[in-house]
Protein backbone atom coordinates (compact mmCIF):
# COMPACT_ATOMS: atom_id res chain seq x y z
CA UNK A 1 0.00 0.00 0.00
CA UNK A 2 2.96 2.33 0.71
CA UNK A 3 4.00 1.93 -2.93
CA UNK A 4 0.76 3.52 -4.14
CA UNK A 5 1.33 6.77 -6.03
CA UNK A 6 -0.87 9.82 -5.75
CA UNK A 7 -1.25 12.74 -8.14
CA UNK A 8 -1.82 16.31 -7.05
CA UNK A 9 -3.33 18.54 -9.79
CA UNK A 10 -2.90 22.32 -9.60
CA UNK A 11 -4.87 24.40 -12.12
CA UNK A 12 -4.59 28.13 -12.84
CA UNK A 13 -8.10 29.37 -13.66
CA UNK A 14 -6.91 32.55 -15.26
CA UNK A 15 -4.45 31.00 -17.66
CA UNK A 16 -5.86 27.49 -17.77
CA UNK A 17 -2.44 25.98 -17.06
CA UNK A 18 -2.67 22.66 -15.26
CA UNK A 19 0.26 21.20 -13.28
CA UNK A 20 0.40 17.63 -12.01
CA UNK A 21 2.49 16.59 -8.99
CA UNK A 22 2.86 12.86 -8.42
CA UNK A 23 3.75 11.72 -4.91
CA UNK A 24 4.53 8.31 -3.44
CA UNK A 25 3.10 7.56 0.02
CA UNK A 26 6.29 5.99 1.36
CA UNK A 27 8.49 9.10 1.11
CA UNK A 28 5.71 11.18 2.66
CA UNK A 29 5.43 8.81 5.60
CA UNK A 30 9.22 8.72 6.03
CA UNK A 31 9.42 12.50 5.96
CA UNK A 32 6.52 12.77 8.42
CA UNK A 33 8.06 10.27 10.78
CA UNK A 34 11.40 12.07 10.50
CA UNK A 35 9.78 15.40 11.33
CA UNK A 36 8.02 13.87 14.35
CA UNK A 37 11.28 12.35 15.59
CA UNK A 38 13.07 15.67 15.06
CA UNK A 39 10.40 17.55 17.00
CA UNK A 40 10.56 15.00 19.83
CA UNK A 41 14.35 15.30 19.96
CA UNK A 42 14.11 19.06 20.05
CA UNK A 43 11.54 18.92 22.85
CA UNK A 44 13.65 16.42 24.78
CA UNK A 45 16.77 18.54 24.30
CA UNK A 46 14.99 21.67 25.44
CA UNK A 47 13.69 19.81 28.49
CA UNK A 48 17.16 18.52 29.35
CA UNK A 49 18.64 21.99 28.89
CA UNK A 50 15.99 23.54 31.11
CA UNK A 51 16.65 20.90 33.78
CA UNK A 52 20.42 21.53 33.60
CA UNK A 53 19.93 25.31 33.78
CA UNK A 54 17.61 24.88 36.75
CA UNK A 55 20.13 22.67 38.54
CA UNK A 56 22.87 25.19 37.77
CA UNK A 57 20.75 28.08 39.09
CA UNK A 58 19.90 26.14 42.24
CA UNK A 59 23.59 25.43 42.77
CA UNK A 60 24.46 29.12 42.31
CA UNK A 61 21.62 30.12 44.64
CA UNK A 62 22.88 27.71 47.28
CA UNK A 63 26.40 29.12 46.92
CA UNK A 64 25.08 32.68 47.17
CA UNK A 65 23.12 31.78 50.30
CA UNK A 66 26.22 30.25 51.87
CA UNK A 67 28.27 33.32 50.91
CA UNK A 68 25.58 35.60 52.25
CA UNK A 69 25.58 33.72 55.55
CA UNK A 70 29.36 33.95 55.68
CA UNK A 71 29.20 37.70 54.98
CA UNK A 72 26.52 38.13 57.64
CA UNK A 73 28.68 36.29 60.15
CA UNK A 74 31.75 38.32 59.12
CA UNK A 75 29.78 41.55 59.36
CA UNK A 76 28.64 40.62 62.85
CA UNK A 77 32.23 39.92 63.83
CA UNK A 78 33.36 43.25 62.37
CA UNK A 79 30.58 45.06 64.22
CA UNK A 80 31.71 43.48 67.47
CA UNK A 81 35.33 44.36 66.67
CA UNK A 82 34.39 47.96 65.88
CA UNK A 83 32.45 48.20 69.15
CA UNK A 84 35.48 46.89 71.03
CA UNK A 85 37.72 49.36 69.21
CA UNK A 86 35.37 52.23 70.02
CA UNK A 87 35.53 51.23 73.68
CA UNK A 88 39.33 51.32 73.55
CA UNK A 89 39.25 54.73 71.85
CA UNK A 90 36.81 56.07 74.48
CA UNK A 91 38.99 54.78 77.32
CA UNK A 92 42.14 56.27 75.83
CA UNK A 93 40.44 59.59 75.07
CA UNK A 94 39.78 59.93 78.80
CA UNK A 95 43.54 59.85 79.37
CA UNK A 96 44.07 63.05 77.40
CA UNK A 97 45.36 65.82 79.71
CA UNK A 98 43.42 69.07 79.88
CA UNK A 99 44.78 72.27 78.38
CA UNK A 100 45.76 73.47 81.85
CA UNK A 101 47.63 70.23 82.58
CA UNK A 102 49.39 70.27 79.20
CA UNK A 103 50.57 73.82 79.81
CA UNK A 104 51.90 73.01 83.28
CA UNK A 105 53.45 69.71 82.13
CA UNK A 106 55.28 71.52 79.35
CA UNK A 107 57.12 73.52 82.02
CA UNK A 108 58.35 70.48 83.93
CA UNK A 109 62.01 69.52 83.57
CA UNK A 110 62.65 67.24 80.59
CA UNK A 111 63.78 64.44 82.87
CA UNK A 112 60.43 64.43 84.67
CA UNK A 113 58.49 64.53 81.41
CA UNK A 114 60.50 61.65 79.96
CA UNK A 115 59.88 59.56 83.07
CA UNK A 116 56.30 59.23 81.83
CA UNK A 117 57.40 57.61 78.59
CA UNK A 118 57.55 53.90 77.83
CA UNK A 119 56.24 51.22 75.48
CA UNK A 120 57.24 48.09 73.60
CA UNK A 121 60.65 47.27 72.23
CA UNK A 122 61.20 48.28 68.56
CA UNK A 123 60.79 44.67 67.40
CA UNK A 124 57.60 44.11 69.42
CA UNK A 125 56.24 47.44 68.20
CA UNK A 126 57.01 46.47 64.59
CA UNK A 127 55.09 43.21 64.99
CA UNK A 128 52.19 45.02 66.65
CA UNK A 129 52.06 47.60 63.86
CA UNK A 130 52.39 45.02 61.08
CA UNK A 131 49.68 42.75 62.40
CA UNK A 132 48.75 39.35 60.89
CA UNK A 133 49.16 38.47 57.22
CA UNK A 134 46.53 40.20 55.11
CA UNK A 135 43.57 38.07 53.99
CA UNK A 136 42.54 38.18 50.33
CA UNK A 137 38.92 39.13 50.93
CA UNK A 138 37.76 42.66 51.70
CA UNK A 139 36.30 41.67 55.07
CA UNK A 140 39.63 40.10 56.03
CA UNK A 141 41.49 43.26 55.07
CA UNK A 142 39.13 45.42 57.15
CA UNK A 143 39.44 42.99 60.07
CA UNK A 144 43.23 43.18 59.82
CA UNK A 145 43.15 46.98 59.72
CA UNK A 146 40.93 47.11 62.81
CA UNK A 147 43.13 44.61 64.61
CA UNK A 148 46.26 46.58 63.75
CA UNK A 149 44.67 49.83 64.92
CA UNK A 150 43.50 48.27 68.17
CA UNK A 151 46.97 46.78 68.68
CA UNK A 152 48.55 50.21 68.16
CA UNK A 153 46.15 51.78 70.64
CA UNK A 154 46.82 49.08 73.21
CA UNK A 155 50.54 49.49 72.63
CA UNK A 156 50.22 53.22 73.29
CA UNK A 157 47.96 52.78 76.35
CA UNK A 158 50.75 52.32 78.99
CA UNK A 159 52.55 55.44 77.76
CA UNK A 160 49.31 57.42 77.72
CA UNK A 161 48.38 56.17 81.18
CA UNK A 162 51.74 57.29 82.54
CA UNK A 163 51.36 60.62 80.81
CA UNK A 164 47.88 61.01 82.29
CA UNK A 165 49.28 60.15 85.72
CA UNK A 166 52.00 62.78 85.26
CA UNK A 167 49.33 65.29 84.22
CA UNK A 168 47.38 64.62 87.41
CA UNK A 169 50.60 64.86 89.43
CA UNK A 170 51.64 68.22 87.96
CA UNK A 171 50.90 71.24 90.23
CA UNK A 172 48.72 73.27 87.90
CA UNK A 173 46.44 75.47 90.00
CA UNK A 174 46.79 78.16 92.64
CA UNK A 175 46.78 76.69 96.17
CA UNK A 176 44.72 79.58 97.54
CA UNK A 177 42.78 82.58 96.26
CA UNK A 178 44.96 85.49 97.27
CA UNK A 179 47.37 88.09 95.95
CA UNK A 180 51.06 87.24 95.54
CA UNK A 181 52.90 89.00 98.38
CA UNK A 182 56.35 87.44 98.01
CA UNK A 183 58.00 85.67 95.09
CA UNK A 184 60.46 82.79 94.75
CA UNK A 185 64.15 83.65 94.99
CA UNK A 186 66.38 86.02 96.91
CA UNK A 187 64.58 88.59 99.04
CA UNK A 188 65.01 90.68 102.20
CA UNK A 189 64.12 88.60 105.26
CA UNK A 190 61.05 90.14 107.02
CA UNK A 191 62.61 89.50 110.48
CA UNK A 192 66.32 90.26 109.97
CA UNK A 193 66.22 92.45 106.84
CA UNK A 194 69.15 90.41 105.52
CA UNK A 195 69.17 88.91 102.03
CA UNK A 196 67.90 85.35 102.10
CA UNK A 197 66.60 82.67 99.76
CA UNK A 198 62.82 82.33 99.66
CA UNK A 199 62.08 78.79 98.37
CA UNK A 200 58.42 79.37 97.59
CA UNK A 201 55.60 81.84 97.18
CA UNK A 202 53.62 83.79 99.77
CA UNK A 203 49.94 84.39 99.06
CA UNK A 204 48.05 87.03 101.01
CA UNK A 205 44.94 85.25 102.34
CA UNK A 206 42.72 85.63 105.37
CA UNK A 207 42.80 83.42 108.42
CA UNK A 208 40.78 80.26 107.79
CA UNK A 209 40.72 80.55 103.99
CA UNK A 210 40.82 77.13 102.30
CA UNK A 211 44.12 75.81 100.98
CA UNK A 212 43.90 73.43 98.01
CA UNK A 213 46.09 70.59 96.81
CA UNK A 214 47.50 71.67 93.47
CA UNK A 215 47.74 68.11 92.07
CA UNK A 216 46.77 64.54 92.86
CA UNK A 217 48.98 62.83 95.41
CA UNK A 218 49.39 61.34 98.87
CA UNK A 219 49.91 63.32 102.08
CA UNK A 220 53.30 62.30 103.45
CA UNK A 221 53.40 64.73 106.39
CA UNK A 222 51.03 66.91 108.37
CA UNK A 223 52.79 68.30 111.45
CA UNK A 224 54.10 71.37 113.21
CA UNK A 225 57.48 72.74 112.08
CA UNK A 226 59.38 75.45 114.03
CA UNK A 227 59.64 77.71 110.95
CA UNK A 228 56.88 76.47 108.62
CA UNK A 229 54.36 76.21 111.43
CA UNK A 230 51.56 73.79 110.63
CA UNK A 231 52.86 72.12 107.49
CA UNK A 232 51.28 69.73 104.99
CA UNK A 233 53.52 67.93 102.49
CA UNK A 234 52.00 66.09 99.51
CA UNK A 235 53.96 63.68 97.34
CA UNK A 236 52.69 63.50 93.75
CA UNK A 237 55.08 60.90 92.35
CA UNK A 238 57.56 61.46 89.52
CA UNK A 239 59.80 63.23 92.06
CA UNK A 240 57.25 66.06 92.54
CA UNK A 241 56.32 67.36 96.01
CA UNK A 242 54.32 70.35 97.22
CA UNK A 243 54.35 72.04 100.64
CA UNK A 244 51.69 74.19 102.32
CA UNK A 245 52.92 76.11 105.38
CA UNK A 246 51.76 78.40 108.22
CA UNK A 247 48.33 76.71 108.28
CA UNK A 248 45.91 77.39 111.09
CA UNK A 249 44.37 73.94 110.73
CA UNK A 250 45.00 70.62 109.01
CA UNK A 251 42.23 69.06 106.92
CA UNK A 252 44.15 65.89 106.02
CA UNK A 253 46.30 63.27 107.71
CA UNK A 254 49.47 61.47 106.61
CA UNK A 255 48.64 58.66 104.19
CA UNK A 256 45.53 60.43 102.84
CA UNK A 257 45.13 60.42 99.06
CA UNK A 258 44.14 63.82 97.71
CA UNK A 259 43.04 65.10 94.32
CA UNK A 260 43.72 68.43 92.66
CA UNK A 261 41.45 71.08 94.19
CA UNK A 262 40.84 69.18 97.44
CA UNK A 263 41.15 71.22 100.64
CA UNK A 264 44.21 70.14 102.66
CA UNK A 265 44.09 72.84 105.32
CA UNK A 266 43.15 76.39 106.31
CA UNK A 267 45.38 79.45 106.02
CA UNK A 268 46.92 80.92 109.16
CA UNK A 269 50.05 82.49 110.67
CA UNK A 270 51.73 79.68 112.58
CA UNK A 271 55.50 79.28 112.77
CA UNK A 272 57.87 81.98 111.54
CA UNK A 273 55.25 84.32 110.11
CA UNK A 274 54.36 88.02 110.34
CA UNK A 275 50.68 87.60 109.51
CA UNK A 276 48.03 85.41 107.96
CA UNK A 277 49.22 84.05 104.62
CA UNK A 278 50.03 80.82 102.79
CA UNK A 279 53.59 79.83 102.04
CA UNK A 280 53.61 77.40 99.08
CA UNK A 281 56.55 75.41 97.71
CA UNK A 282 57.10 73.02 94.80
CA UNK A 283 59.98 70.56 94.96
CA UNK A 284 61.18 68.48 91.99
CA UNK A 285 63.81 65.77 92.42
CA UNK A 286 64.70 67.06 95.89
CA UNK A 287 65.13 70.72 94.93
CA UNK A 288 62.75 73.69 95.29
CA UNK A 289 61.64 75.30 92.03
CA UNK A 290 59.70 78.45 91.27
CA UNK A 291 56.02 77.50 91.75
CA UNK A 292 54.86 80.51 89.78
CA UNK A 293 55.61 78.86 86.43
CA UNK A 294 53.13 76.08 87.22
CA UNK A 295 50.26 78.24 88.46
CA UNK A 296 48.25 78.05 85.22
CA UNK A 297 44.67 78.02 86.50
CA UNK A 298 42.92 79.48 89.51
CA UNK A 299 40.96 76.31 90.30
CA UNK A 300 40.76 72.63 89.38
CA UNK A 301 38.11 73.06 86.67
Output the tens digit of pLDDT for each of the chain's 301 residues.
Answer: 555 677 777 777 777 777 777 767 677 677 777 888 888 888 888 888 888 888 888 888 888 877 777 777 767 666 776 776 677 666 777 777 888 888 888 888 888 877 665 544 455 545 544 555 444 566 666 667 767 666 776 676 778 888 888 999 999 999 999 999 989 988 787 777 677 788 999 999 999 999 999 999 999 999 999 999 999 999 999 999 999 999 999 999 999 999 999 999 999 999 989 899 999 999 999 999 999 999 887 776 5
Cα 283 → chain centroid: 35
Nearest residue to 293 via CA among 206, 190, 193, 174: 174
The predicted pLDDT at position 194 comes to 76
Verdict on whether the full-model pTM lies above 0.85: no
The rounded distance, in Å, linking the Cα atoms of 239 and 197 is: 22
Q: How much is the pLDDT for 128?
A: 47
Distance CA 193, CA 78 (A): 74
Neighbours of 139 (CB within 10 A): 15
Other beta carbons less than 10 A from residue 149's beta carbon: 16
Contact between 167 and 296 (Cβ < 8 Å) = no
Bridge partners, 266 (sequence order)? 210, 249
Q: How far apart are CA 245 and CA 225, in angstroms?
A: 9
CA–centroid distance for 124 within its chain: 20
Output the pLDDT for position 12. Answer: 77
Nearest Cα residue to 233 out of 208, 215, 210, 207: 215
Nearest alpha carbon to residue 146 among 126, 127, 131, 124? 131
- Beta strand residue intervals within 165-260, DSSP E: 179-182, 185-188, 195-198, 201-204, 210-212, 217-225, 229-237, 240-250, 257-258
Say whether 18 sits in a helix, a strand or coil: strand
> What is the reported pLDDT for 134?
46
What's the distance, Cα to Cα, between the start and end of the chain in Å?
A: 120
C-alpha pair distances (Å), 119 with each of 158, 176, 278:
7, 38, 41
Q: Where do the domains of the chain lie, and which CATH numbers do they carry?
A: 95-169 (no CATH), 179-294 (2.70.70.10)
Specify the pLDDT at position 174: 94
Single out the residue of 78, 199, 89 nearest to residue 145, CA to CA.
78
- The predicted pLDDT at position 116 comes to 62
Q: What is the pLDDT of residue 136?
A: 52
Contacts of 228 (CB under 8 A, 6+ apart): 243, 245, 246, 271, 272, 279
3-state secondary structure of 97: coil
Amino acid sequence: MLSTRYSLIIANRRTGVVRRLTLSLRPVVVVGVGLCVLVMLMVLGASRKAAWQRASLESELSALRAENETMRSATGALTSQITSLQSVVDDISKLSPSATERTAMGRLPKGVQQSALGGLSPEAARIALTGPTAQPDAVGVVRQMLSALESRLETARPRLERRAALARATPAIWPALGALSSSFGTRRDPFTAAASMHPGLDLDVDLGDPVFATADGVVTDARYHPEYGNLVIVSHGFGIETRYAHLSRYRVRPGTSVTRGQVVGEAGSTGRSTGSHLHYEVWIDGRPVNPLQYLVARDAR
